[in-house]
Structures are given as C-alpha cells and as structure tokens.
Amino acid sequence: MPRRLFAPLALALLPACRSISVEQFAAAARNSGVRCVAVEPDMTVVSPYAPGRTAEYVDLFRDSADAIFTAFGVEGTDLSVYLEPVDMPGFRIDESGDHFELEGVQRPAHNGVVGLAGERRGSDGHVIVLYVPKDQAVRTADGREIRGTFRFDQGSTVRHELTHIAANLAGLEGPTWFDEGIAIEISSMRVEGGVLLPGRGDSLSLAAARRIHAEHSLEELLAWQERGDRLHRGDEDVFRAGRPLAHALMLFLLQRVQGDTLLESLRTIHSMSAAELLGLEDDWHRWLG
Ligand SMILES: [Zn+2]
C-alpha cells in the first residue's frame, strides 16, 4: 500500500471544517511559521522563506518533476510540497564576537529523515515534506544579533522524493529495497534541459555497500520494511545498511536486465520473485567484490 501522509500545515488545519476562509488559512500558516505559499498550475509549495528563496525551490521541484515523471512515463500529479524548517545546530560565535565557528554541519533532517513522500490524504494528489534549514541567529558579546542562512544543495533529496511519487504513479512500488534502490539511483542523476541524465556512476553509497555487504544476507535486505511515518515520529530506527545495499542491488539488477529504457528495466526487476532474486545472491556478492 502506498504511504499516506499528512503534512505539518495540513495537521494545523485538520480541526477546521472542510472549507476554510483565506483568513483561517493565513492564521494557520502564520502559526506554522509559513511565510510564502507559491501556487503553480499543478504544484503548491508552502515555505518558511521569503518569495525569492521559495522560487528557487519551486524551480528545482518543477524541473526535477518534469524530467522524472517523463522517465517513468507518467502524467504529473497535483503535488503539495511542504518545506519544513529544522534547526541546524553547530553555528557559534565566540565571546569577542569577531570569530565564528561551524561544527558538524549536516543535511537538514528530522529524526534522521531528510524528506518524505506519499499520497495525499483526503484528496487526489501527492505530498512531499522536505526538511530545510531554519535561519539561525547568534548573539555577539556586545549584544548584536547576527542572522545566518544555511544553504544546501537539496537537489538529490528532491529527486529522491519525486522518484517515490513517480514510482507510485507508474505502479512500481514496494518492497522497501526496490523503493529506496531506485530513488537513490535517480537522486544521483542530474537534470539538464528537462532530461534525466546519468550521474557520477560510482557513488558513495556503492562504496559503502562494498564495505558492508559481506555482513548482510540478501534475505535480510529483501525483508526490509520501512515506514516513513514511523521514522518521522521517531518510533522506528533507520536500517542504516539498507540504503547502500538496496542501491547496490538495484545497480546490479539494472546491469543484468539491460532493458531498452530505464522504465522497461524497472518493470522487469519489479516483477522478479523473491526466489529469483535469492538465486542471484552469490553473483551479487561477487559483483560487489
Ligand atoms: Zn526514500
């Protein structure tokens, strides 16, 4: 079953009746830290940023969605995007106020999750929640407040979450290794001129898979079940080995299957039984070296 998601602002609006006034919407949005809502023909982006920075995310989502939906042979969807600000710890300024320090800067995340995608509840369409950096403020010794902005290239996370939606629309969903394997592969690609193009080829996740595959069986990977909503609430730990291993299995299978198009290969892989996959376990481990 596809995951169904509520998003933060939607939660704030839930107690309200089915139709709400613009004033009620604005009040709920303001209480949720929303500064801008961008309304596009098939996409709504709810953002904690001013219009200029919000527009950068709108462009990123639109360009990526066009390319990924085309690759999956699906029409678009009515997409709601919630940019959810999270604290970015690790920005400090020293006593004299003339020296700053950055420590442990990481991708913006909530309970280890950088984004979520699913079907929208209550109406047709899909939802993406993307965690984005909250602007920070530090106070200097002489009492001045300095505001700081973190900028992250979030293109790979956007491609990852859009891939989950494209796969859902194409009827190519589940199990978890399949969902994550293809989302990671497409997140490593690039979008140019509206087209999805191969990325770096080898990747950090493949290197990680090479290091750890001997400690894990294919059976364990195939049995992996992850629930985004449980991760979001912190009720479930991330299976850390899962993502690199799922990506490695997907790459291995894509090389073996050699369909005319990516979509054709994915359909073939999606239809393989667990028994068929387990029969390839030794080859897969050998391929990883
Ligand atoms: Zn994912």
Q: Which pLDDT tens digit goes with each residue over 222-231?
A: 999 987 667 7
pLDDT value for 156: 93
What is residue 12's predicted lDDT score, i.e. its pLDDT?
Answer: 60
> 99 C-alpha vs ligand 1 centroid, how far in Å?
38
Distance 186 CA to ligand 1 centre (A): 11
Q: Which two tokens stand for residue 170?
A: 């194409």
pTM, rounded to two decimals: 0.89
Query: In the structure, what pLDDT confidence band is assigned to residue 16 with cuts at 50, 70 and 90?
Result: very low
pLDDT average, residue stretch 145-164: 90
Report residue 43's pLDDT band, with 50, 70 and 90 as the boundaries: very high
Which pLDDT tens digit goes with each residue over 88-102? 877 777 777 778 777
Tell me how many helices (H) and strands (E) the chain has: 12, 12
Q: What is the mean pLDDT of the chain?
A: 87
25 CA from centroid of ligand 1 (Å): 30
Ligand 1 center to 249 CA (angstroms) = 15
Average of pLDDT values for 99-128?
Answer: 83
pLDDT at 94: 78
Dihedral, 122, 123, 125, 126 alpha carbons, nearest 10: -20
Q: Which residues contact 112 (CB under 8 A, 6 or more apart)?
A: 231, 238
97 CA → ligand 1 middle, Å: 41
Find, among 16, 9, 26, 15, the residue nearest to 83 by Cα: 9
Reply yes or no on whether the pLDDT at 277 is more than 90: yes
Q: What is the pLDDT of residue 25?
A: 77
**176 alpha carbon to ligand 1 midpoint, in Å?**
8
202 Cα–ligand 1 center, Å: 19
Q: Per-residue pLDDT averaged across 128-152, rounded?
A: 85
Distance 115 CA to ligand 1 centre (A): 8
Band of pLDDT at residue 155, cut at 50, 70 and 90: very high
- pLDDT band, residue 13 (cuts 50/70/90): low
Neighbours of ion ligand 1 (CB under 5 A): 183
Extended strands (E) in the chain: 4-5, 36-40, 43-47, 79-86, 91-93, 100-102, 115-120, 126-133, 136-139, 145-148, 190-192, 195-197
Please say if the pLDDT value at position 111 is more than 90. no
Ligand 1 center to 68 CA (angstroms)? 15
